[in-house]
Chains A and B, each alone.
Chain A
């Protein structure tokens, strides 16, 4: 890790949603709108991100729209990450998955399965929008504030218990005794929401229907706002492993990172919108043209400028943050510039962690082997 000669290294994540983070991005994309929702598109974007040297790809989920002027469709995030799994080698694949209006048992199974199809390169970006529209889709009401955080915390706890409910060596295939499983290494999760749970309480029995994920426990990433509402940054393998931090301006981002770190988060990931000079146009002009089509509401700080300036900014930010997640204004355009001018220079400066084939998300975050909450001494 960090020594006197080498600066501390960090990782870079890229959000691959749609045609980019700007709502008007589709107008600058290198393909027709009808070609967006396909395996071909997932393949080309995730391979471009991997070969550029990004360590992590994230996949947003939830409602998009409204329909009309801009993109109104989105493929399921777990499936996009799963599709990317077998065609990539080193990039970590992290889908966003809701916790409020989903069944925690299904979520745990899907994420454990994702860990298998990505060979241990999966993570979970916890969402808890709780919006009225998402609730109405499943016949439930909006959930806000502490209620959202409580739903998120319960869902994370359910997953963590289910992921441990098979010990690593539960599948014994013992021909002599005729046993495929060692039943002593399977455990009921017996999760129940607390009596003071703000929403409708529930219980989950277990065990999981899939063996323990390859990583043991998938790293759990959550936005800082959920922490503010009460989602816990746990000790390792409970609660949240990494926190996404936003700030209203570039100047405040470093400070926001430091603040979250002081609350004990294992890893801190800074969120950044990016618009770069490209195609012979200044970033400012490109942004103005996109904004003229549709304004870009975002709570993230935004870098607008040339590649060299971004390299400087990221070098500085990665001295305090463990990682930075970039939200490219236009995926096709920004990814070209990032790959050509930004990542190579960051690598040259030695501020990026190496990207390793056959790595795991746990390894990238510096998390050790996940201990199993149910493993008993003597096994």
Chain B
């Protein structure tokens, strides 16, 4: 490998990896057409995946969030899995049937109230014995806002200003009870020690909070904070506030570049070089031999992007119906009818110049001799996010990530529910353990302990008003 592995700023690779599992619930990455594809909503699917992950000593079980159903050409998008439970409600239920694994809820800052969300996350953290985390996202579009009282009230430019004030308020709420606020015995004079709970006030541009926090600190003091959002503002926000980044840079070179960037931002924010961990989103397609893995990958891809998905994908960029085109033929020769692209709403992409993009794609497909389906499959399943190969090959590759400190772990999106982790837990995990880069047992009971994160410092005194 030729990559420059120096990170700088005193960053020290831990030499270890953690795994998380991301039950996606939407998008084309989840195969629903295979005979073994299970329910996306039955509790049993969630239970089975979480318990398999726990058997494999995974640090965390993730749930995503999309607060409006995806649409294609003005109607709900029909071709991919869709419809998923509220993250925290599901995780509270999973807390009852798991013992160690961390429980991570993706929750939006734009369409929640800080006092309510902080309370619910603290509640999940207590119910699970210190296993909760919040994956902070800032999706702000007015299209999503149409489901909420407040509507699309927030400028895109303000999303992280708002998010940061929100997260700071949440931290103050989590830190508002003194460490020993609750009496240790039922014979004590009072249930809580006098003056051990401070109200939290915040007055800012976007909201006002005047709140008597209702929950004490948790076994891990407060929920772990993940962050997902890749803009420069998002990265700086993570460098200041987060414990872990759920990143979009899994390829080794890209991961190293991202690590350097995050370390520099973290140090600039006055924190230590190792204080923010990185776990990229990733997909694993594994088998006993490289040849079998290649065949499996081709099969998975054919199920992820069928002919209908391939055409629908292009329609979003062309802005017109393309059902007359052969999915196994070349890209459409006609031009887009729109100026800006509008990818399936809710999939989290941005507009681009349509005609330019179409020209570029046609040239690319022609050059590589790709059909519509092959081309779209390549675009939707980012090659760098897929780890495909034999168990030993991939274990070697991951050990290399650990050695250079490119990432702290991987957040795996199974392409099959609920059995998509079985081969990873049965075959990859032992290979990683044999290479000394993966835990052989849970080291503690809280998510913070699994991740090797220190207990947090208390947030600034809640008497101070912050302005944002």
Contact = CB atoms under 8 A, between A and B. Distances in A.
B124 interface: yes
A209 B93 contact: no
Interface stretch (B133-141, B205-213, B351-359): B205-213
A83 B211 contact: no
Contacts of A37: 126, 215-216
Nearest to B180: A34
B192 A67 contact: yes
B109 to A, nearest CB: 13
B116 A27 contact: no
A85 B187 CA distance: 33
A33 B182 CA distance: 7
B364 interface: no
Contacts of A159: none
A105 interface: yes
B367 interface: no
Contacts of A177: 308
A177 B307 CA distance: 10
A30 to B, nearest CB: 8
Contact of A33 (B37, B43, B83, B183): B183
A178 B33 CA distance: 8
B309 interface: yes
A78 to B, nearest CB: 6
A211 B81 CA distance: 11
Given A83-B95, A180-B78, A186-B69, A137 B147 contact: no
B86 interface: yes
A182 to B, nearest CB: 7
B171 interface: no
A151 to B, nearest CB: 10
A117 B216 contact: no
Interface in B161-207: 182-188, 190-192, 194, 196-197, 207
Contacts of A36: 182
Interface residues of A, number: 78
Interface string B23-59: 0000000001100010011110001000000000000
Q: Output the residue of A31, A76, A175, A203 with the most chain B CB within 10 A.
A: A76
A80 B127 contact: yes
A183 B95 contact: no
B92 interface: yes
A162 B79 CA distance: 21
A173 to B, nearest CB: 6
B81 A180 contact: yes
B68 A205 contact: yes
Interface stretch (A107-115, A229-237, A263-271, A276-284): A107-115
A93 to B, nearest CB: 10
Contacts of A203: 146, 151
B191 A79 contact: no
B192 A34 contact: no
A202 B79 CA distance: 31
A179 B79 contact: yes
Contact of B149 (A75, A109, A202): A202
Contacts of B361: none
A71 B308 contact: no
A180 B33 CA distance: 9
Contacts of A43: 96
B148 A82 contact: no
A82 B76 contact: no
Q: Output the residue of A65, A67, A69, A104 with the most chain B CB within 10 A.
A: A67
A207 interface: yes
A73 interface: yes
A373 B192 CA distance: 49
A39 B119 CA distance: 16
B115 interface: yes
B85 A69 contact: no
A326 to B, nearest CB: 23
A175 B308 contact: no
B257 interface: no
Contacts of B113: 101, 137-139
B78 to A, nearest CB: 5
A114 B123 CA distance: 16
Q: Output the residue of A82, A186, A200 with the most chain B CB within 10 A.
A: A82
A186 B81 CA distance: 14
Given A33-B184, A69-B190, A87-B96, A82 B69 contact: no
B441 to A, nearest CB: 22
Nearest to B47: A86
A317 B115 CA distance: 41
Contacts of A347: none
B76 to A, nearest CB: 5
Interface string A92-135: 00000000011111100110111011010000000000000100
Given A112-B86, A116-B85, A177-B308, 16 more contacts: A31-B186, A32-B185, A38-B129, A64-B214, A67-B196, A69-B191, A72-B214, A74-B215, A79-B127, A101-B116, A116-B42, A116-B43, A117-B93, A166-B83, A178-B309, A208-B83
Interface of A: 26-29, 31-34, 36-39, 42-43, 63-65, 67-76, 78-80, 82-87, 101-106, 109-110, 112-114, 116-117, 119, 133, 136-139, 166, 171, 173, 175, 177-183, 186, 200, 202-211
8 contacts: A39-B128, A75-B126, A84-B96, A86-B93, A106-B111, A110-B88, A139-B208, A204-B147
